[in-house]
Amino acid sequence: MQQPIATNDVILFSTLRENQYFDRKSARKDDKEIAKHISAFANSAGGKLVIGIEDNGEVTGFKRNGARDIEKFERAALTTCTPTPIVRKDRIPVVNSSGEEDFVLVLDIDASTNHSVARVSDGEVFLRQDDKSVRLSREQVFALEYDKGQRIFEDELVEDSSLDDVDHEVLDRYKGILGTEVSDEQVLRSRRFMRDGKLTVAGALLFALDPSAMMPQARVRVLRYDGVKMETGERLNITKE
């Protein structure tokens, strides 16, 4: 079973197989590549990204020809990812493969619990899967945002909807309960049932003339319980569904 790495051990970093919680990269990698892995770790369970060690385990550090400045990697989370994940930076002194005193950089990336983290340059979102940082499709990004509580399904907009799709008789009854005489559009916007002139999912389900046409996948589930409260487990008391 894969486990997070607790210590910053260069020998371990050089020999360990890359996995869900660990990856190593050359200091020659550009911003887009580093941002990809920071995003992936942040969107998963966190992990360590070690800069200055080749994929084959050779410790090349930051003095090798073509290596980029270590400060650029230390600022990478801030400059290449949005929103900025929490990343702790640690320079580890080493003797590189050419016999020179050098450093490797450990980026210890925390999991982002309430936002998906994207790459600034193109908005792409990645997720760590085994030893790979995998780009997510638009649908997968939505699923990740729902999982993190960043996106609420009921607040999504129903495309091609407008005020013309509202059942104004139903909305008038709702306004009567609220005790308000403001315009239909204003009451819908104030309660997050409409945004940018379009109904939200919640607005369509509650107030559309034909909710099933807009949300054909929506269902009403009716349960009957034995008693006055819902029980679970061995005491589950649903009698009809």
Give the pLDDT confidence of 152-189 residue by residue, as tens digits: 778 888 999 999 999 999 999 999 998 988 999 999 99
Whether the Cβ atoms of residue 59 and residue 94 lie closer than 8 Å to each other: yes
For the chain, give the percent of residues with pLDDT over 70: 100
The pTM of this model reads: 0.69
According to DSSP, the residues that pair with 199 across neighbouring strands are 194
DSSP 98-138: TS-EEEEEEEEEPP-SSS--EETTT--BEEEETTEEEEPPH
Q: What is the pLDDT of residue 191?
A: 87
From residue 213, how far is each of 82, 192, 209, 219 by CA, in Å?
37, 21, 9, 12
Residue 94 token pair:
């080493």
Q: What mean pLDDT do residues 206-210 have?
A: 94
Which domains, and CATH codes, for the chain?
10-148 (3.30.950), 154-225 (no CATH)
**Can you tell me which residue has the tokens 């073509």?**
66
Q: What is the pLDDT of residue 122?
A: 96
Model confidence pLDDT, tens digit, residues 81-111: 999 999 999 999 999 999 999 999 999 999 9
For residues 14 and 4, the model is more confident at: 14
Of 7-11, 68-72, 89-93, 141-145, the least confident: 141-145
Nearest in space to 136 (alpha carbons), one of 43, 227, 212: 43
Upper half-sphere CA count for residue 106 (Cβ side, 13 Å): 21
Q: What is the pLDDT of residue 153?
A: 78
Q: What is the pLDDT of residue 1?
A: 61
